[in-house]
Structure formats: C-alpha cells, structure tokens
Amino acid sequence: MELLYDIFSTDMLPDAAYITIFTMFVPLAGAFMASVIKSRDGRDIAVILTAIVLFVNVLNLLSIASKGGLPSLVLGEPIPGIKIMFFVDPYGAIFALVASFLWIITSIYSVGYLHSNHEPHQNRFHAFFALAIFAAMGISFAGNMFTLFLFYEFMTLCTFPLVTHHGSKEARIAGRTYLVILLSTSILFLLTAILWTWSIAGTTDFEVGGILAGKIGPVATGILLMLYVYGVGKAALMPMHRWLPAAMVAPTPVSALLHAVAVVKAGVFTILKVVVYIFGAKNLSEMISENWWAGGWLVYIAGATIIISSIIALRQDNLKKRLAYSTISQLSYVVMATAILAPKAIMAAAFHIVAHAFGKITLFFAAGSIYTAAHKKNISELNGIGRRMPYTMAAFTIGALSVIGIPPAAGFLTKYYMMLGAFEYGNFFAIIVIIISTVLNAAYFLPIIYAAFFKKEKGSPKHGEAPIAIIIALTITAGMTIGLFMFPDLFLWLGLQPVLAE
C-alpha cells in the first residue's frame, strides 16, 4: 500500500486531519479498555468516558466543517485509483453525531441492564460494542464507496458476537442468519455495484451531483441502483429483512445497537449517500422522468415494505419482535423519501435517521426495562404495567408517538416534510403509503399504551421500576425525541445542503 500521508508527521497533516484520525480511533481505545480492565466499575466508567470523548470530537469536527469543510484525508491506495479516504460531509456528520451520542446513553443503559440481568461476558460485550461504533465512524466519514464497504463489512463481523451473545441454540441460528444475509448481499451485490461504478467513472469517490451523471444510460442505471439497494442488506428492504427479527434473541442493548445506534442506520445512510453522491439526485430524477426503469420502481418497493412490515408487526405478541418489524417499516421511510428525489423529501430522509434513532431506542430501552423489572416479554402481559412503571411507560409512549408521527415528537416532522416533497414531485403513491402506514403504526402501538395505563394488571406483582441507570437512559432519549421536534434546524439544514449544492 502506498502511504499518501505520514500520520506521524506534524508537517504533513493539518490539525483537522489529526482530529479526524483521533476521532476515528477513539472507539478502538474503548474496545481495548473494555477488554483489559478487570474491575467492573472501572470498565464501565472507562467505556462511558470514551463515548463522551468521541462525541466531543465529533462536535469539534462538525464545527470545523461548518467553517469551510475538512480536506479529504487519504490514508492509502491499495489499488491504483481506489483509495482509503475520509472526509466529513453533512450526512456523515448526522450519522456520526447520532451514533456517538447514543453510545454514551446506551453505555449507561447497558450498565444497569447487564448488571441487573447478570449477563455473562460483559467485557466482551462492551469491547465488541465499541468496535461497532468504530465501524460506524468509518462509515460516517468514508470518502468513497470502497472505504465505506470496508467498514460496512467490519461492522457485520464485529456485531456477530453481540447477536450470539447468549450462546444458546436460538442465538447461534440467529447469528448464522445474520451473517449469511448480510455478507452474501454485500459481497454478491454491493461489491459488484462498486466495481461496476469504478469501471464506468474511474473512481468511487463521493461527489455532489453524482460521479455517474452523464456517464451511464437509464437501463444500466436501474440495474446498478438495484444492486446497490439490495447489496445494502442492513437497510432491511424486503425480502432482505429476515436477519433483523431473527437478531432479537440478543440482549436489549444489542437490539438498541442494531435498530438505533449503528447497524440499520448504516444501511439507510449508505443508500442515501449512493443516491446523492454516486447517481446524483437531480440526475436520477431527470432520468426517471424519461425512463421509469432508471429507478422509479424504488418508491414502490420501499412503500410495499412499509405496509407489509407494519401489517406483520400488528400480529406480533412478543414486544421486541413487534418493534423489529416496526423498524423494517421505518427504515423504508428513509428509502422511499430518498427515492422521491425531491429536496424536501431527501432532507426528511436524513432527518428521519435521527428521529427514528431516538424514538426507536427509547422503545427498546423501555422493552428492556420491562423485562428487567417484571420479566415480561409479551404485549399480552402488559395490562396495567404503566401504574407500576410510570417512567418506563411514559418514555415508551413518547417513542411510540414519534414512530406514529404525532406531535410533539420528532417523527411528525419527518412525515410532514416527506409529504411536502411528495406533493412537490406529484408522487401520490408515497403520500398514500405514509397515510396508511401512519394508521397501522397507531394500530400496533396505541393498544399497548392503553392496556398499560387503563387495564387492570393480573395478579399482585411486587415489581417497580427498573434500576436507575436504565431509567436515566430512557428518560434522556425520550426527552431528546421531544427536543428534536422543538429544535430540528441543525439536522434539517445538514440534510438539505448536499441536494441544494447540485
């Protein structure tokens, strides 16, 4: 590998590049400390402090980028024309901010959850969780598809031990499903798409307006887009979704990682960047207007996934499985909004990554809180539980309102801007999908809330709230869900910048 920058030379790298490198490798330090520190309290403190350091550095990078942007940082060129490169763009800033902040909160939550449930292998858990955050940072700051692909694959491998954490037969089966679907889709489809892109454009570097603009016809564009969409299995677009419900056998903090912090967000984030930086939103829209096969079908596939997964969610009694199918539906909101190609819709897609992250992690935190305090997993067992666990169920209600799209939760804004974008581009199919799915969202969440607060609890259980660390975590994320509704400007601005620059 030809090293293009000497990372140890103060003369060759600007301060911003040092910050980028430091930010990238902070989670590795967390993984190391989680592995070697034997004291339980010492390990927990070290992990939380590492997460805080990471978040502060991401904020620093965002500040520098807002004042003129960061130079591209090329670490090497293993193949001529294919570089390992990093830079900070608006979408990367969104993903990095969400992942780094939620690592702090999830670490606090994990302390309460792992200790209370006497989970085994806690050092291993924290180490691999930190490695997953490292992968998320690599995906966030990747300057091209080749670099993103490397970290995308690494994320799959380092989250496998988390999915199989319990070591049971069910966990091993879920782990195999997880690996087979995510690795096969990425190697067969995503890697093929990247190599095809490189052969056409001579590069895989992300570029405003799209590196393929004017270099490929509509039919080839449609085929290549399909390879990208189904190669990104982490986006859980049907039928590549089975790994997500299967992985619910993992501990709740892992479910939070999969659904909110890193894994599925890496999937929809990748599709967003492919559309904007590889194809170009404006270029793709013009091609679709002339030939539907260039990508007009993506709105319909995403819309079908939204409706079908919402209907399946209605039939699930297991709370985590209902949340899992809800996630599949919500991820396809991002894909559908991106596929509308209107600037407001793409802005909404970027903001939905944030809103869904906080809303859904709150719901999973609440599910874990219920399991920890009451040892209940099924919705049919939750009658009256809101009276004994008011903080947990209040947070659950806020998270559910966000997913449904009811103010004052952030999810309302994402659906509002999606519909504005759909109206602007005359995409009435997307509008109908949003309306129907919102009704379905309400149908699978509101009965849970009603039963928790207004039905009588069976028996005379003596449990109360979960441990304080769990309550603190879910209170923060529920509060942030409302806070994002009140103060969305930063994320809306970041989500709009790339499409305005075309």
pLDDT along the chain (502 residues), means of 10: 35 59 88 91 93 92 68 76 85 92 93 82 89 94 94 93 84 89 95 95 91 91 96 91 81 73 88 95 91 92 96 94 93 96 95 95 94 92 92 97 95 96 94 97 96 85 84 96 95 88 72
Could you tell me which of 339, 333, 314, 327 has the C-alpha nearest to residue 364? 327
Residue 187 lies in a domain: no
Token pair belonging to 184: 């096969």
Bridge partners for 85 per DSSP: 74
103 within a domain of the structure (yes/no): no
End-to-end Cα spacing for the chain: 34
Whether residue 19 lies inside any domain: the answer is: no
Write out the two tokens for 124. 């291993």
**Does residue 257 form part of some domain?**
no
Structural contact between residues 421 and 342, judged by C-beta atoms closer than 8 angstroms: yes
- Cα–Cα distance, 153 to 297 (Å, whole number): 27
* pLDDT given for residue 67 in this prediction: 62
Domain holding 372, by residue range, is 341-502
pLDDT at site 181: 93
30: Cα separation from own chain's centroid:
21
Which two structure tokens, joined as six digits, stand for 318?
A: 């297991």
Asked whether residue 247 is domain-assigned, the answer is: no
Query: Is 487 buried (19+), middle (13-18) or exposed (0-12) by CB count in 10 A?
Result: exposed
Note whether 350 and 91 are within 8 A (CB). yes
Specify whether the CB–CB gap between 165 and 203 falls below 8 A. Answer: no
94 assigned to some structural domain: no
CB of 335 within 8 A of CB of 303?
no
Which two structure tokens, joined as six digits, stand for 410? Answer: 């952030």
Number of domains in the chain: 1
Helix 191-201 with 145-163: angle, nearest 10 deg: 170
H/E element holding 483?
A: helix 468-486
Q: What is the structure's pLDDT at 65? A: 67
| Sign of the dihedral through C-alpha 378, 382, 388, 393 | positive
Q: Name residue 73's beta-bridge partners.
A: 86
Helices 122-141 and 90-116: angle between axes, nearest 10 degrees: 170
Q: Are 322 and 313 in contact (CB under 8 A)?
A: yes
Q: For every residue of 214-248, which 3-state class applies, written as one string?
A: CCCCHHHHHHHHHHHHHHCHHHCCCCCCCHHHHHH
Whether the bond into 161 is cis, omega within 30 of 0: no
Q: From CA 478, how far away is CA 396, in angstroms rounded?
A: 8
Closest CA to 182 of 143, 201, 154, 156: 156
- The amino acid sitting at 110 is S
CB atoms inside a 10 Å sphere around CB 81: 12
Contact (CB, 8 A) for 99 and 136 = yes
Residue at 360 is within a domain: yes
Q: Are 486 and 412 contacting, i.e. CB atoms less than 8 angstroms apart? A: no
Q: Quick one: which H or E segment has residue 77?
A: strand 73-79
- pLDDT computed for residue 259 by the predictor: 67
Q: Is there a contact between 337 and 393 (Cβ–Cβ < 8 Å)? A: no
Q: Distance (Å, rounded) from C-alpha 474 to C-alpha 362?
A: 5
Task: Note whether residue 109 is domain-resident.
Answer: no
**Would you call 101 helix, strand, or coil by DSSP?**
helix
Residue 136 buriedness (CB in 10 A; 0-12 / 13-18 / 19+): buried
